[in-house]
Structures are given as C-alpha cells and as structure tokens.
Structure 1
Amino acid sequence: MDSQTTIRNEDSVLRLKIRSYAKEQRQIFRTNATDALRFGLGQIKREISELENLSAKDVCGLAARIKRRKHATSEDMYRLSHAFLQGNENINTFSGIQGAIQVLVKELSGTNMQRQIDAAECFCNLSLGDGHVSEKITALAGSYLVTYLDGKEERLKRSCLWTLANMLATCEKAAKTLLQMQIVPKLWKLYTAPTDDLNRFQDDAGICLYLIATHAACTVSAVDRRYIVEHLHEKLPTDPGSDYYMYIIYQLNIVCSEEDLSVQQAESLVNFFVGNLKTDWDSYAGGSMRIYYGVRVMANLLAKGDPKLLGCLAEPENFVNALNRLFALQDSNLRYDLMRLLKNFLSLNIVDSNLLLEQLKVYA
C-alpha cells in the first residue's frame, strides 16, 4: 500500500467517522425517549418509529411551518434533524426550499442558547448532504459556525466543529470560503489546547485541520501558515489528535525553504518526531501517518542546511538510532523518504559519512 493509498483510506475513515457522529444519535433515541438534556423538551411523546420515517413531504410541511412563523422551535429542529439523517432526498428537499435555511440561521444567531444548540445540531445533520448543500450552509451560516468556535458552550462548539468538518470534506468551494473567515487560527487553538481541557475538542479540531490540509492546502494563506509556525511547540505527541500533526505540517508546506523557522520552532518538530519513535506508534492505524509524514517533515527540515535546527538529532548517535528503528520496519513505502533523510543529513557534513554508514542497519 503506497502513501497516497494510505491517505485515501485515512480520508475515508475520517469521513465515515464524521457521518457516524450524527447517526449515533439514533441509538440514544431508541433507548431513551426523553431528551430533556439536549433539547429541553421533557418527555418526547411521539413514537421513535415516526421520527425514523419522516418523508420529503413531512420536510416540506416542516419547512412551510417554520417559514410561516419565521421561527423554529426546538421540536421543529428535533424533527428536521432526524429527517436529515434519513437520506439526501430529505436534505435536498429542505435546502431547495427558499428561505428555509434562513430560519435556522436566525435561531443559530439568536440569543436563546438552547435554540442555538438545536440549530447547530440541525445544521450538522443537514451538512451530511452533497457539496451544493455545504456551499449554501457556508454562505448563510458559515460565519456563525466559525465564530462559535471561540465560545464556551460545549455542545454548541462540538456541533459547529462537526458541521465544519462535513463541509470541508464535501465541498472545495465551501472550504475556500471558510478559510477566509479566520478558521485556521481558531482550529489550531482548539487543536493545541491543554490536555486537561475537560471539553476535549483537540481531536475534532484536528480532523478539520486534516481535511483542510487534504482538500484546500493551496488556499491556506501565508498569514495562517505563519500562525501555525509560531505555535508549533504547543502540540505534543501524547496529545489527542496528534496523529494528524505531521501530516498537517507537511501538506501545508510549513517546513519549506521560503519559511523561516527559529531554533525553538524547529526543535519542537524534532522533539515531536523523536517522541513518536518512543511510543507504540506501529500498533495502531494512526501510527503510519505519524511516521510517513514525520520522516518527510524531517527530511525537509534537514534540507534547510542548518545544523542548529536539528535539536537532539544533531548528535549522530541519536540520528542513527532513529534511522535504525525506522529501517527495522522494512516498510517499502518508507524506503525512499528514509534515503532522502539520510542524504540530507550527510550533506550537512557534521559527521564522517563512512563512520555513520557503518552503524546503519539497512534491511534488504
């Protein structure tokens, strides 16, 4: 399996994870007909079977109702959320009704916190549709979804993150628009939040950054890249979502000849890479992304030609130990990148090449 296949597989897994987030709510409602915590409605009297069989006709009726009232109740949004989970027909029906999404935007941007949450969760399920739906949501509600990433309400923030992830995964135009709304710095702050953060948004923010790096890397501004450079040190290998870190750094071309890195910034990358080698990264799915792209980032760092940027890897013994562990994997997908890493290290002329090569354990 080559690295591009690995990334396609990772992308598919993440997109499945994004969609399963909303669908998991069905299990909650099957086992508990009371949803007071989430919607503030008290006892839900309707049968679960009714909620799981809402048709396009039902969606039209709900859309007409909220348009007529210019307001959507929590119950309206509860029913719409379930309708959107049942397939694209319901999603396309609602998104095609002029003025319907605007009513949800009104609730999302209002002052009632509970209805803000309800609207955000409604948008999360609506964003499971195709690209044209994501484009419309971005145009009408994108600024609010991004702004609420700075908020303190956990459910609202999490629903916004998953809605944004859905849109980033399905619509390139939506991604470009969102990138103009200062989404990258906001996501990076959440991604690098302290590990004692009780709300744990690091992994969700990491998925969004991963999707940006995959689908819209060329659109990320120089200002956003510089922000990431200045905050590289805030992410640790043991943090939630750290599997995506090196991939994000590589895809966004953070370590390139044009981008200046301080000794501290470069050292944080080296420490992250070395920290990965000290963990059981080869025992789970995310480990391959850490290693493949960690090696590429290190090769780019060495290509800058400045030994002061190498941190602990400037010591030949440390470099050899790291390289030998990677060679021991006997991974054909790593071979070219490891040889490039070795070549760039030898080009620094900080050690006798023959002595170093004698210590390497390259497996045929």
Structure 2
Amino acid sequence: MSSAPIASFENTHIRSKFREYARDQRLECRMKAKDSLRIGLGQIKEEVKALESLETKDVIGMAGRIKRRKHATTEDMRRLSVAFLQGNDNINAFAGIPGAIQVLVKELTGPHIQRQIDAIECLCNLSLGEAHVSEKIASLAGSYIVTYLDGKEERLKRSCLWTLANILATCEKACKILLQMQLVPKLWRVYNDSNSCQEDAGICLNLVVTEHLQYVSTEDRNYIAQNLHKKNLGDPATEYFMYIIYQLEIVGENHELGAQQAECLLHFIDALLTSVDSFCVIYGVRVLANLLALGDPKLIGRLADPQNFVKALNQLFALRDSNLSLDLMRLLKNFLLLNITDSNLILDVLQVYV
C-alpha cells in the first residue's frame, strides 16, 4: 500500500486543525480589541468604527510618534492592534519604520503588567504579517515572549502563545531563533500544567514538530522523553499528544523510557481504542509499535498478555480504517518478534477486515 494516502490524510488534518485555531484566534483577538477600546477608552460606537478603519498613513504617523517619544501609551497600542487586523499593508507600513517595533518591545519588558499585555496583544496582531515581520519580532522580542511562558498571568501567557503560533506558522528562520531559547521545554510545561493555555501550547508544539522538526535539539527531545508522563489523559488538547511523541521519535533507541513513561503511553493507547478520531488512533498505533520494537515486554504492561493484545488488535482492525492497515501489520509483527507466545495461536484468533 502506498504511503501517499496516509501522508495526504495527515497533512489535511494538521492544516485543518491550524485553520480552525487561526480562525478562532483572530475572532477572539478582534473581539478583545473591540472590548478594550470600548471599556478602556470609553469610546462611543461611532468612534470605535472610525478606529477600525485606520489607513496606512495613520499607521505610519502613529509609528513615527511613538518612535519619537520612545514610548507607546495604552491607547496607541490598542489603536495599532486594531490597525494590524485590517490587513497586511498596515502591518508592513509599521514594520518598515525603523525603531517602531523596539518601542513595543520596551513596553513589553516594562514593570507594568497591563502595559505588557497591551504590548504583546499588539505584537500578536503584528505577527499576522509575512515572514520578514515574524523574523523581526522573534529577533527583538522572542526571548521575552518565551520567558513569559513561565509566568502566572494567563492573559499575557496566552497572547504570547498566539504570537508564537503565528510566527511558527510563518517563518522558518524565526522558528530557528525561538527554538534556541528553550521554547520546546517551556511549551511542554504549559501543555502539561493545569491552566487555560494547554490547547494553545499544544498547537505550538504541533507546529514545531510539523514544520520545524529539524531544529528541535537532542536535549529538548530528552526533556520530553523524561517528562512525557506528566500529561494527564483528561487534560485539554490530548489529541495532539501521540502525534508530538511520534514526530519527535521519543519512543526509540535514542531515549531510555522507564516504566512510568511507558505506563502513561499505554493509558493513552487504551483510550484510543474507543476513539473516533482516526488521526489520534493512527499515531497511537505507531507509538505502540515503536514501544513493542524496543523488545522489552515489561514496558507494555497488560498488553504483554497475548489475550489482551489480540483483543486490542481486533478492536483496531474492526475500525476498518484503510489508513491503519500498514501500521497494524507492523504492530502485529513487532509483537510476534517478542516471542511471548506461539505465533499461530495469535494468528488463529485475529479478526482481520480487508
């Protein structure tokens, strides 16, 4: 069977997930910008409407003013946030003024939390631009954005994650810069911690392993291998978990997995047996096949019992998912190579659907 249909399925799924995320992100960001203007500035409806139609000349004028003052007020940043949502011309106009982005970075790194939030929300909308804009943001503000992932202010943290997602989806060079700043371990901690940002951290990790896998260091992979068991089954965004683990080749000869990590993976795999998400099931099967390939029956828990393994495999075959066929055969082969039981006994009770 050709791998082309599976690759096509994966690419379509990943792009669909990001389109959904990007659509929701822009909608929420737009609503927050409107609310900020209404509440923070006390503008009446007509004035808000006027702010939403800022032209390129207005943006250039504002960029020049904040550059001369070396300071941006809350009103400045909220007006710019709205302007950046209007289109790429406004974004390019602002990014083309030398020193303008540095003023936003200055506000981002200042002592006032509300100013930090205003600045990151402004940079978030700016990051909707093209690759050269993302590269500037990553170079000038990347270290601060990544550092704020450790903070407790969730609105600030979430806007940082949105900004990172925009950059990761846009610019390879910017991603390389960010990944040198311990981005992956920080994303992994946010992805596992109990907070409202787990979905956003999962999206960022997805983008990293889909678009920029070659820049993820051995140290980062080791960190995830050592801490993969901290992801709980009931957490948000668990549908990305197996894909991330598989793409990073966490289960393999290069990483030593202990019983705790293996048990975590098996909990997720058990849950996948009743899942209706083909994407999750495919990567769960691939991770399990890799786990079996390690050749240690102690790492596969109850599945080391041939009866349990056959029951699970039959459940997967019963899905009749053509994208799973090759992966299930590899899973079966790796189990038989463990020599736990007579191969014929396994093959006699398999229910393979073709």
Structure 2 length normalisation: TM-score? 0.94
Offset at residue 312 of structure 1 (A): 1.8
Q: Summarize the Cα distance change of 1:173–1:320 in structure 2 as closer, same or farther, 3 Å threshold.
A: same
For these two proteins, the number of residue pairs brought into alignment is 349
Contact 1:66-1:72 at 8 Å conserved across structures: yes
Partner of 1:341: 331
Partner of 2:271: 275
Partner of 1:167: 167
Identical pairs, percent = 60
Q: Distance in 1 between matches of 2:234 and 2:10?
A: 22
2:228 maps to amino acid: L
Gaps of 5+ in 2: none
| 1:316 counterpart = 2:319 | no
SS of residue matched to 1:297: helix
Q: Distance in 2 between matches of 1:14 and 1:125?
A: 20
1:314 maps to amino acid: A
Contact 1:270-1:312 at 8 Å conserved across structures: no
SS of residue matched to 1:233: helix
Point out 4+ residue stretches in structure 1 off by more than 6 angstroms.
none
| 1:129 counterpart = 2:129 | yes
| 1:295 counterpart = 2:285 | yes
Contact 1:29-1:48 at 8 Å conserved across structures: no
Q: Summarize the Cα distance change of 1:56–1:257 in structure 2 as closer, same or farther, 3 Å threshold.
A: same
Q: Distance in 1 between matches of 2:72 and 2:221?
A: 40
Offset at residue 237 of structure 1 (A): 2.8
| 1:44 counterpart = 2:47 | no
Partner of 1:147: 147
Gaps of 5+ in 1: none
Deviations 1:280-311 (A, max 9, x none): x20xxxx2221111111111111111111111
Q: Distance in 1 between matches of 2:199 and 2:182?
A: 19
Judge which range, 125-134 or 5-14, deviates more.
5-14
Deviations 1:215-265 (A, max 9, x none): 111211111111111111111232101010000001111112222211222
Offset at residue 120 of structure 1 (A): 0.4
Offset at residue 338 of structure 1 (A): 0.4
SS of residue matched to 1:98: coil
Structure 1 length normalisation: TM-score? 0.91
Offset at residue 15 of structure 1 (A): 3.1
Give the 5 Å matches for 1:21-40: 21-27=25-31, 35-36=38-39
Q: Distance in 1 between matches of 2:66 and 2:322?
A: 58
Judge which range, 312-321 or 138-147, deviates more.
312-321
Offset at residue 101 of structure 1 (A): 0.3
Offset at residue 66 of structure 1 (A): 0.5
Partner of 2:13: 10
Q: Distance in 2 between matches of 1:110 and 1:18?
A: 29
Q: Summarize the Cα distance change of 1:19–1:70 in structure 2 as closer, same or farther, 3 Å threshold.
A: farther
Contact 1:246-1:289 at 8 Å conserved across structures: no
Contact 1:244-1:289 at 8 Å conserved across structures: no
Partner of 1:359: 349
2:49 maps to amino acid: S
Partner of 2:257: 261
Contact 1:250-1:297 at 8 Å conserved across structures: yes
